Structure 1
Amino acid sequence: MKAAVCHQGEFSVEDRPVPTPGPGQVLLRVVRAGICGSDLHARQHADELAALGTDLGYEAIMRPEQHIVLGHEFLGELVSYGTKTRRKWKPGTRIVALPMVKHGDEIHMTGFDQDAPGAFAEYVVVQEAFAFEVPKGVPDELAAFTEPLAVAWHAVRRGEVGRRPAIVIGCGPIGLAIILMLKAAGVKTIVASDFSAARRELARQCGATVVVDPREQSPWTAYKQPGPVGSITELADFGLTAVGRMRAVPLLPWGHLLRAGDRLGAAPSGPVVFECVGVPGVMDQIFAAAPVRSRIVGVGVCMEPDRMRTVLALNKEIELRFVFAYDPEEFAHALHLIASGKVDPTPLHTGTVGLGELSQAFSDLGDPERHAKILVDPTAR
């Protein structure tokens, strides 16, 4: 089979044996594979990725001197089964799967491990237990977005936005996917901020209700903030006025009323902010500018050391959460949202290339005015 192999940061198309599915595994013929921001990082920062993998206890993570087949977002057609499989699908069934395989007692991350070659190739092996059939009628180009939309759905779930406004900082592929999922979750106010005019337009298409160029308008003032959460002094003035009025009423159990309001969610709170840039300094900028009691969800992958003034977050009582990947139910739900038409990732798809064009595609993705998401068709010549 043909496969695009990354070695020392460079791609070459090589002939490789078609992989053989092991116990509990199935072999897929790759129909489409998406280029993820993580692939861009892996190509450029393989040394840092290897060190990170060691810290996380994943010793098999790729290294620059190895020959790696990237690609962990994919759609394929079932070809054959390994042993100890249920064999519930017929050959030719379209499948999406979580990018993870098990060899013996070891877990390997598909597309980031020389023992788990990814989908920038004509064939890929997946675990049957983590594979899902794509419903009939779902176009290939949409089904191929299941994995990145699962990432976005997990981030939105962990963000627990509820009735709060949502602010998306950075409208690259993951930021756009989060906007799609916020809209699907019924969030009423979605503010999107990006320097790129092209990506701001994509954010509108994905469902953002307010879109700003941060050079011209602050995302923090582009919507109506609910309650006294703009600053520490504003919140303090609100508290002083409210408590003063309650204590002026004899025998009023003002303390119990405050606690009851807090339990019922009536306490002032800021927006839920999704940081989707992953560049040093951005998180600190959010700490400085975000309203009081905001919740920040770190989604962007930052491969470099970062510096943050935590005293800003402390004084504002900012809550910080980080997210990674998804679980199988979230993956299946993302596929359901695509199949039902509730989520349409079409705006994200800005190009399709063959294996031989992969290196140029990686370079092209560095220009936000040209591309959001490029898919790979291994059959294209």
Structure 2
Amino acid sequence: MLTGKRILLVIGGGIAAYKALDLIRRLRERGASVTPVLTCAAEEFVTPLSAGALAGAKCFRHLFDLTDEAEMGHIELSRSADLVVVAPATADLMAKMAGGHADDLASTLLMATDKRVLVAPAMNVRMWLHPANQRNIAALKRDGILFAGPNEGDMACGEYGPGRMAEPLEIVAAAEAALGEGPLKGRHVVVTSGPTHEPIDPVRYIANRSSGAQGTAIAAALRDLGARVTFVTGPASVPAPGGVAVQRVETARDMLAAVEAVLPADIAVFAAAVADWRVSNAAGSKMKKDGSGRAPALEFAENPDILATVSRMTQGRPALVVGFAAETDDVIAHATAKRARKGCDWIVANDVSPATGIMGGGENAVTLITAAGAEEWPRLPKDEVARRLALRIAETLGTSG
């Protein structure tokens, strides 16, 4: 699937650099050509000779190489590749990328490239979890940088947790997806995300605590599998992912109209926390206290049901419609009933009671409700929940054709 593709492989300075040698071999097995670039720190773990020999190509090392830079080599390297892969991506290298530093060949290439960049992080678990590193990761994702891993497991330092570099074949799969060769290539996916804001008056509104983080992660995961993603988002507190078509809306009625306008689609994932009700007597100007001590009487009307509307379409219904059920009690029972009531194919259910910290947090614990029953998933980072859901969607669509 990578035949004829040109991969620029930046090898960072970490113990996982030895895996980069196997990665070169795996990429070449699939028909890709690989140009390796070593940082100075990487040369403490692998040699330019080994990387170059496995790649069958020159290994680049220094920014101020008289021969290479006579023809602006760093620009040529960064532009001639189809994809730039950074493996291992150390905390230092990702910090340079997030900050826009360009003080060596690797960081300069990453600044100069106009191609997609895929990073495979590798570092100690404490470094991975450090707030500064997490800020850098968030910045890179906003910039459209793709991630493969890291995985969780034992580390060379003797600790256990997230931070292990993804295995070479996992990185190869991510590279295929980044180049539009993923299992969802050619599929159109609509993802809704975030809350909706239902006006009370021009300055006040009714909403909920959804950050939009889970829907954003799902859109990114489906994009990474090669799908063409239309992302319909309410006023979320997290930025939209790169590489998707973004439709911004405010109210539930806006969201339904936006969804209907972008159909048809192969897959629809309704992760938005849509308000069930809107204020039917919203004021045209700011409401004022009148000194009586009485609160204004708000009248409510039911909002359109986006999930049910799309699920029950007789023409142009997506092949797979996935809804979400945020519940505070009897999660599985309520979610199972919701699936039957709405007519969707799957429901992703989660417990959002205050004690869980899930609403607006960084993790999620979901149960996937399908025609086959309920499948409980462990509590995971929202990015990992998104990845698992995207892979399940790809597997199901592949099986059904």
Q: Which has the higher contact order (CA 8 A, sep 6+)?
A: 1
Per the normalisation by structure 2, the TM-score is: 0.29
